[in-house]
Structure 1
């Protein structure tokens, strides 16, 4: 079961807009930050590194490479890379986690809608709300990066956003070609409908973290389904073509777009195709996605 921080003993205030929400003293915040950082360390799954074929790894038949996910694109071309051992959070970062980070660092806790930011109460208790505290946080790339680096500061561990290579290696059960999708069994799985689970939004299929599918063999949840996730890499549609044999690839040194990885399980949402995402849309809205943090360390952290 997912361990969650409890707030029920704290005093609450109520309003017509936000309903009843807890008040938090400085000592409450310090305690909750300590609990969150301890949990962030405990939730890290150690993943032994290795060499794998990254991208649209496909298959070779009669001497011709055939992709699993047509139409093949040069930006997704299969290439062999090696990743060192690392640790990755078994869960996506929740709104409860991110709200606490925002409070502790003096950032506003806001509702974003149509380019506007509206102040909201943290730690939403209503399971039907998109900001429910156990649902995955959807934030900008910089906010995700800042959160992971905040954990690094609090724990003295090398927390950061995962690289695209680390994310794919973990989602594919250490790069296995048997894992066509990042589910618990590597296949498109039936029987886990979002509409059947408490707190899931049917039309978006976004659920509280750790609910929609069983964990994959490494112990990671929601690498498939739920929401797309930020990785550290810049995006380039030519980077994969020159990356064969790379060790711990970091992506292009600069760029205009950041990558997200992972999608829903619809017929066109292939989870191992990279998804370049604009940081700011033409309308000026920040692009938002979910995320989880990695620890760059070649040995288990506990």
Structure 2
């Protein structure tokens, strides 16, 4: 559907923020909030830290020469030694149901966006075919993702935030294993059939529904949307910092890191908005999925014997 027709249909069936707010208040947001905070705590996966080679760790061929797996990005994916403290990571990406709860609790408009324009939408979408279905991963800007994790931390009295790029990669690679060339459940590349879905019309599905969890118990690290992490992007920061403990990335920048659906070490920098290639008067707003991390070296629960 083209942009003009879409806005015309929206005008024919207007939905106001006041109407949505009234309807949700009639049902109450507190049960949604209580369920979210309880589930957020229960879904945190404790990850024991360690030292690993972050970035394109490559391999030595039969000729005895080391080569990166993907030479075109070796500058930004420069291999380097990283040591991480313990932390915890949500086993699932944040869903639209979660994000709608956050918006409504804070009196923020529940909206959808096309380029820089916004308009009201219904929260807690129950239609599985809809892009905003409650169990599909939320697509938001970096700042919205950051705000959500810190808000959830305030609700649970826990130091929740976006994971760092190093934390994401360590977890996606089953604690930094060099057997995990891809961030899938088994470290191997997905089949052609699954890839067709991952990049096709149904690339966003209910969280945890397409591929099994990896050995740590984390879902969708390889599919269902690229993920925001906390770091600023730099092509040379890791080259200039070859050994680092609990890296936070550069102190400043113009782009934030998103973690890719391809190699387990692949990272990309993305501006939150940029001029559209379609129309000079529009801004394309970068929206990606995300999950939250518990920035604490202690597990919330003792391991079962």
What band does the TM-score fall into relative to the shorter chain? 0.7 to 0.9
Q: C-alpha separation between the residues in 2 aligned to 1:253 and 1:202?
A: 36
- Aligned counterpart in structure 1 of residue 255 of structure 2, from 242, 254, 257: 257
The range that moved more, 174-183 or 281-290, is: 281-290
Structure 1 residues 130-209: aligned runs within 5 Å: 130-190=131-191, 193=194, 202-209=200-207
Tell me the equivalent position of 1:216.
214
Q: CA deviation at 1:152?
A: 0.9
SS in 2 for 1:25: helix
- Residue 23 (structure 1) aligns with: 23
Match of residue 280 from structure 1: 273
Gaps in structure 2 of 5+ consecutive residues: 1-11, 277-282
* 8 A contact 1:139–1:290 mirrored in 2: yes
CA distance in 2, matches of 1:64, 1:202: 37
- Cα gap change, 1:202/1:17 in structure 2, threshold over 3 Å: closer, same or farther? farther
Match of 2:4 in 1: none
Map of 2:279 onto structure 1: none
Aligned to 2:298: 299
* SS across alignment from 1:75: coil
Q: TM-score, normalised by structure 1?
A: 0.86
After superposition, residues 77-88 of structure 1 pair within 5 angstroms as 77-88=78-89
1:38 aligns with 2:38: yes
Please give the TM-score of this superposition, normalised by the length of structure 2: 0.85
Unaligned runs of 5+ in 1: 1-14, 264-268
1:247–1:201 CA distance, 2 compared to 1 (3 A): closer
Paired residues in the alignment total 278
1:11-46: CA deviation from partner (whole Å, max 9, x where unpaired): xxxx9678xx99333782122111101100100000
Q: How many Å apart are 1:239 and its aligned residue?
A: 0.7
Q: 1:179 to 1:37 in 2, by over 3 A?
A: same
Q: Do the aligned residues in 1 keep the contact of 2:33 with 2:101 (CA within 8 Å)?
A: yes
Q: 1:150-188 CA distances to partner (integer Å, 9 max, x unpaired)?
A: 011011110000000000000000000001111111101
- The SS at the match of 1:45 is strand
More helix by proportion, 1 or 2? 2
CA deviation string 1:123-158 (max 9, x = no partner): 111111111111000000000000000011011110
1:75 aligns with 2:79: no
Distance of aligned partners of 1:84 and 1:192 in 2 relative to their CA distance in 1, 3 Å threshold? farther
CA contact under 8 A between 1:207 and 1:226: conserved in structure 2?
A: yes
